[in-house]
Structure 1
Amino acid sequence: MAQWFTKWIGWVRVIAFFGLLFGLIIRIGDPQPLETLRNASFDFYHQSKPRELTQLPVAIIDVDDTSIEEIGQWPWPRTRVADMVQLATAQGAVAIAFDIVFSEPDRLSPAQIAQDNPDIPPTLLSKLTALPDNDQVLADAFAKSRVIVGQTTVRTIAGNREEKREMAKVAHALIGPSPLPYLLAFPDIVQNLPALEANAAGRGIFNALPDPDGVYRRLPLVMSVQGQIRLGLTPELLRVATGGDPFAVRTNEAGLEGIVLARQLIPTAHDGTVWPYLTPSSRSRYVSAADLLKGRVPQGRLAGHLVLVGTSAIGLEDFRATPLGVAMAGVEVHAQVLENIMAKTLLVRPNYTIAIELVTTFILCTLVIIFAPSLSARLLISLSVVLLAGYVGTSYYLFVGKRVLLDPSFPVLATATAIILISTVNYLREERQRREIRSAFGQYVSPDLVDQLTQDRGTLSLGGESRELTLLFSDVRGFTAIAEEFRDDPEALTMLMNEFLTILSRAIMDQKGTIDKFMGDAVMAFWNAPLDNPDHARAACRAALKMIEDVHAFNAKRRREAARRRKARAGQKRKSAPARRKIHRIKVGIGINTGQCVVGNMGSDMRFDYTALGDPVNVASRLEGQSRYYGASIILGEATARALAETFAIMELDVVRVVGKAVPETIFALFGDETLARAPLFAALCATNSAMLQAYRDRQWDQAESQLAEVSALLDKLKLNMADYVEMYSGRIADLRIAPPPGDWDGVFASTSK
């Protein structure tokens, strides 16, 4: 019995079980990678279901970019800040908290100005020194309102500041053991000027520490500073607004349970922090400081509100990364914490959630360890998906319905790891059995035959087959100028070309084409291999037209983005704006040809590619090069044009002898689909162009020139940009008038470049 049990358990299950125990120990230690993964999961929940915005009596007086533009450079004179306090109080604000610390005397106080400018005339100097001190004006404004001054902690060793002021004692009660061992501890603090501190109704600390990835997910409501228990800015604002009674801290053996304000318990984590449940940033919370000072705020806008004063100005850089994936002004984060407290919508992560996560991980992994070795892959995957989806669904339900944060990442990661390890062992076992079978059959038949039966590698052999293909080559016109613009930013050029080549590739793939290779800014593709496509010529032309259309849209998008960037720079009015990069319009030339080619795996035994070879490939490449001379975006070879009949708008361009070929090739321009082909005006263009070409080849220069003018007029009416085509033939006719061609001239143009 013991032997059977040992055999059934197996060494794989034993090792996996010990691995599970080791993984649980690691989770209890909670290293940073696991914390980062867990936080990312909670961020995903947050972003998929942010808190709904509701109207609550919370407002922000915002020193925004408009305020700085109207009022002047920050910091403003303290008299302006005093005006803000007085106006907000007159508006009916219940209490005002500053997400700003005034730790230094106002450099714009009259006495300070007098001291900094000793050459001022004595009469004016005496008048200046007689004026009230700006800081005292602000302190007087504080005394006539309910103001909470902001303070900030510093992570310095106690006593290393030149002047260290004692903090004012804060009345509080303790319910349970001392919370000091659990609180975030700071050895020192930056306070406001003594007069401001003395006249303030409260003092709150606005510090918040980010997680290791720089995201602010938790904020402390209570903390330890110089060994004293202090409230954060938000709960201090709430305390003062509700009467100013002392607060209480409730603790148990595991740490903090929460703080008691206004006779209500606000739950916190064991260290006094909370998880705010955020909404996307909303301007409805904000009142511009300039609007308040200029009297543009509607009467009663701040009535009954708890007001925070802070900044969203870009230059002051008071922005915080949030779980929503976007930065938010720090003062708005504080405002949302206050909304969470008032509406009781804080996210919670009770201590028991860790136990649930560990037990769930143990159960799921144990099920996998026990049953995975004996289950089929399909059943194992199905069962695992059901179990893991059920757990993740429960975690998401708790977030949405109960605002409870239950980690979905570690149980899923641990279970998936167990599945992968067990599946890998199963695969290795099956591979060993397959080798044993191969060895056994090798005793009766040739090992080569066994290999051929067990694995067909015919598709990976070198060689090819003859097929009729339609080939497409595309290239960017003027790429050198584009690259020159990006000479100082090659990464931006790479991003631009990757996006551009993605557009071309998508058009080719949508028409079932095969992309052979990318050559810098050029693309080679073909149709009718490896899969049969009897309509390959039409598919290639449809892809080419879509490529041109998408490139036009891409150029328009780049122009719009450039215009937005210019507008943003103009709005910022920076003195040293970055140099604007010229937006080059990307133009594409495309050559298409059809013919018999060899297609297959070409190369060496060590490296090969699936590609096409043959004369039609070279012709297609040469046709792409001709597009720059004829002004047509898409040039077709004769075989391709004949295969298309009347389903596309095609016009003959010339008979050319491309570089490397003795036999001339009639080339055509592709302008559009059958809608354009059936247009009477396009039919007239083709007829007039054919007559012009015939007159040109018959040396009837006057007639050719007259009909070329008609061709130009028809092109303009059809809005087809072929000015280069008209100019080229006009130049040829002028040259041939001066130097007539020899008697055996056949009208074929010999191209001298690729």
Structure 2
Amino acid sequence: MKQWFSKWVGWVRVIALMGLLFGLVIRIGDPHPLATLRNASFDLYHQSKPRDLTPMPVAIVDVDDRSIEEIGQWPWPRSYIADLVTRATAQGAVAIGFDIIFSEPDRLSPAQIAEDNPDMPGDLATRLAQLPDNDTKLAQAFAGARVIVGQTSVRNVAGNRAEKRDMADAAHALIGPDPMPYLMKFPDIVQNLPALEANAAGRGMFATRPDADGVYRRVPLVMSVQGQIRLGLTPELLRVATGGGPFAVRTNDAGVEGVVLARQLIPTARDGTVWPYLTPSAQSRYVSAADLLRDRVPDGRLAGHLVLIGTSAIGLEDFRATPLGVAMAGVEIHAQVLENIMAQTLLIRPNYTIAIELVTTLVLCLLVIIFAPALSARLLISSSVLLLAGYVAVSYYLFYDKRILLDPSFPVVAVTTAVMLISTVNYLREERKRREIRSAFGQYVSPDLVDQLSRNQGSLTLGGESRQLTLLFSDVRGFTAIAEEFRDDPEALTGLMNRFLTILSNAIMEQKGTIDKFMGDAVMAFWNAPLDNHDHPRAACRAALKMIADVESFNKERLRAQKRKRVGQKRQRSEKRQPWVSVHKINVGIGINTGQCVVGNMGSDTRFDYTALGDPVNVASRLEGQSRYYGAAIILGQATAREVMNDFAVMELDVIRVVGKEVPETIYALLGDETLRQDPRFQTLWAVNNEMLAAYRSRSWDKAEDLLAEVSTSLGALDISLQEYLDMYATRIADLRATPPDAGWDGVFSSTRK
């Protein structure tokens, strides 16, 4: 039972499943970070394809900056507002909605002016008091038209008003369960003057709330105000314009489904809100209030239109952040909602959408959890990317073609987290295998040492001697990916590494080197001990070049064998797979350094190794690690380079402080043997590279950048790839140009990576 669980279920899958369930619970709670990420995704959709602007019978009479400049400062006398209503009705407006509230008496009414100016002559004050009140004029204008007054909310029941009035009831019907638990709730409202409310054909709320990031993405179509169900301003305007009948709220077990208005169902989210599908702000929607008051509006401009009266003047601050990434006048957002309702172009996010998203996330994550442990790292990543790209493509298609909002963010985050978790566990497992390989090969010693010990058994004692050594460290790049391919066949991995290490060992021993130890896929070797070798720097370089050449031949041989295997399997399906065949190319990095070391038998009385110790050993190891960052297969320390640069193609790379050392080290790339050293093209490369480094260290950034391009050309002429080296210096030059170093900068690079 335990073996079955380990093979087919495993702790990796159990942990991933527990994490998945936890993530689904978090999504149901919908914390702010998830909601913000989801909303940002919808904003990107919205910005990539805003709604097309099409002519609609909706217009805005706008108190804009030009109107303020021409008519006078705001607020205007209510008689001007009455004139706007009268003129818009005369133009043929079907109904008029106000995105403005008139909650206080007009202080510009004639009687109020007389009261506010006690020094006014008595006869003038009496005559002013006898003139019609501005609010009365506005109420009379309302009575002669279809006007919907706007109402807004206050923070609490008490508000900040001296008087609280009950609001008029709104006739409606309920289809399904009670919607009140789901609706946005406003405990109280600010109403217009009683005379205005009494003469209005309808009353609509223009209160709404932004999302946590301050963006207005949703507008409540229906809401709870003082415990009553009320319509927003735009649906109330449409209700009055289409006859003024009652509306209905349809609900299901998930919440509000929609509002039935003007004999059509307007779908909403579960809380009664809708997602407007916006166009960029369009001047074609606007009619300046000044133009309407001064009879400059063409006849018929407002005929058959639903008209909203609001403000966009800068000083009145009625602008709202929108999903399009730009602020828009609040009255235009109302106008666009009205256009969406009339043209049926609202964005759709039904109340059951979260269930679809949860099920989709569950299915995608289960696919990853089931198959990921059996896939290679490359196949896992590529298949996950394709899976997620497919889901995001479906989500965007639903928005683009159907206007349906399906969250693309949470499933992507959940699946990515699952892949990272499983990949991390797989990586740790392969690292454990690598340590086991290092431990197994660490029991062996070099043939030269065995030969010496057989002649002098008395040397099997602890201790060492000081010698000038040249040390070589090599390691395989991307060993985890190679091990991942053989996860089900460890014997094949062992066979592959045995063949590979044999190739490296042969190259070292041909040059009379001593193999200190194998550490999994890594090799440590040195020259001039235990056997004397006065040419040890050159011997190490010859061995390194042969190692690189032999590994390249080994890769080609494996590729040919892979092709032969495939042909053979077509003929004999039962043929056993060759354990050493792999599709992964093996790349080796090598570091070489020369210096004074202590070499001898090191360890305990019961277990010891013949090895070398000293600072040059550590530097050689660090140089091997740097090879991956500079793109050079072989990197030499400065002591080795000084000895061999007249006989080998050696190019300076940098002056660095390797990890763990304070003294800088000049490092070099070993590119080839004496034949390449004598090639005129290499001579050109060597000279240009030295000039580039000199310009870089003298802070001549432009010159260094130009010379770096010449270095790239010279490398291309020799068919040598050092792209990482070129990219590194290009990045450094750009960074130093942008942020110049201080006066004490010496051009030394301090490496933080081994």
Q: Give the aligned residue type for 2:84.
A: M
Distance 2:693 2:61 in 1: 59
Q: Give the aligned residue type for 2:300.
A: G
- Structure 2 residue 79 is the aligned partner of structure 1 residue 45: no
Match of 1:602 in 2: 748
Distance change in 2, residues 1:518/1:372 (3 Å): farther
Distance 1:333 1:159 in 2: 26
Contact 1:114–1:120 (Cα < 8 Å) also in 2: yes
Distance 1:364 1:373 in 2: 15
Match of 1:591 in 2: none
Distance 1:64 1:266 in 2: 32
Distance 2:160 2:76 in 1: 30
Match of 1:446 among 516, 522, 529: 516
Correspondence list, 1:89-108, <5 A: 89-108=89-108
Normalization by structure 1: what TM-score? 0.63
Distance change in 2, residues 1:127/1:427 (3 Å): same
Distance change in 2, residues 1:377/1:87 (3 Å): same
How far did 1:18 drift? 0.9
Match of 1:79 in 2: 79
Q: Which has the larger radius of gyration?
A: 2
- Structure 2 residue 609 is the aligned partner of structure 1 residue 457: no
Distance 1:36 1:169 in 2: 36
- Structure 2 residue 241 is the aligned partner of structure 1 residue 241: yes
Distance change in 2, residues 1:296/1:96 (3 Å): same
Instruction: After superposition, give the CA deviation of every residue in 1:10-40 in whole Å (9 maximum; x if it has no partner).
Output: 2111111111111111111111111111111
- Structure 2 residue 700 is the aligned partner of structure 1 residue 532: no
Distance 2:712 2:12 in 1: 51
Normalization by structure 2: what TM-score? 0.63
How far did 1:524 drift? 7.8
Distance 1:283 1:307 in 2: 15
- Structure 2 residue 178 is the aligned partner of structure 1 residue 178: yes
Correspondence list, 1:195-206, <5 A: 195-206=195-206
Q: Give the aligned residue type for 2:365.
A: C
Correspondence list, 1:219-234, <5 A: 219-234=219-234
Instruction: After superposition, give the CA deviation of every residue in 1:706-744 in whole Å (9 maximum; x if it has no partner).
Output: xxxxxxxxxxxxxxxxxxxxxxxxxxxxxxxxxxxxxxx
Contact 1:528–1:534 (Cα < 8 Å) also in 2: no
Contact 1:111–1:128 (Cα < 8 Å) also in 2: yes
Task: Using the aligned pairs only, state the percent identity.
Answer: 72
Match of 2:428 in 1: 428
Distance 1:198 1:518 in 2: 84
Correspondence list, 1:635-674, <5 A: none
Q: Give the aligned residue type for 1:299.
A: D
How far did 1:428 drift? 1.9
Contact 1:51–1:277 (Cα < 8 Å) also in 2: yes
Aligned pair count? Answer: 504
Correspondence list, 1:159-178, <5 A: 161-178=161-178
Distance 2:698 2:119 in 1: 73
Distance 1:518 1:80 in 2: 75
Distance 1:260 1:427 in 2: 57
Correspondence list, 1:676-691, <5 A: none
Distance change in 2, residues 1:513/1:246 (3 Å): farther
Q: Give the aligned residue type for 1:283.
A: Q
Q: Secondary structure at the match of 2:204?
A: strand
- Structure 2 residue 564 is the aligned partner of structure 1 residue 396: no
Match of 2:334 in 1: 334
How far did 1:374 drift? 1.9
Distance 1:201 1:603 in 2: 78
Contact 1:514–1:526 (Cα < 8 Å) also in 2: no
Correspondence list, 1:532-611, <5 A: 532=711, 602=748
Distance 1:126 1:211 in 2: 53
Distance 2:749 2:202 in 1: 79
Instruction: After superposition, give the CA deviation of every residue in 1:351-394 in whole Å (9 maximum; x if it has no partner).
Output: 33222211111111111112212211221122112211111111
Distance change in 2, residues 1:534/1:215 (3 Å): closer
Distance change in 2, residues 1:606/1:418 (3 Å): closer
Distance 2:281 2:212 in 1: 23
Instruction: After superposition, give the CA deviation of every residue in 1:368-426 in whole Å (9 maximum; x if it has no partner).
Output: 11221221122112211221111111111111121111111111110011111111122
Match of 2:351 in 1: 351
Distance 2:695 2:103 in 1: 66
How far did 1:135 drift? 1.0
Distance change in 2, residues 1:125/1:393 (3 Å): same
Stretches of structure 1 that go unaligned for 5 or more consecutive residues are 470-511, 537-587, 589-598, 609-754
Distance change in 2, residues 1:280/1:159 (3 Å): closer
Contact 1:45–1:399 (Cα < 8 Å) also in 2: yes
Instruction: After superposition, give the CA deviation of every residue in 1:68-106 in whole Å (9 maximum; x if it has no partner).
Output: 111111111111111111111110000000000011111
Contact 2:254–2:352 (Cα < 8 Å) also in 1: no
Stretches of structure 2 that go unaligned for 5 or more consecutive residues are 445-514, 525-587, 591-623, 630-635, 653-691, 716-736, 738-744
Distance 1:82 1:513 in 2: 80
Distance 1:55 1:514 in 2: 67
Match of 1:560 in 2: none
Contact 2:154–2:187 (Cα < 8 Å) also in 1: yes
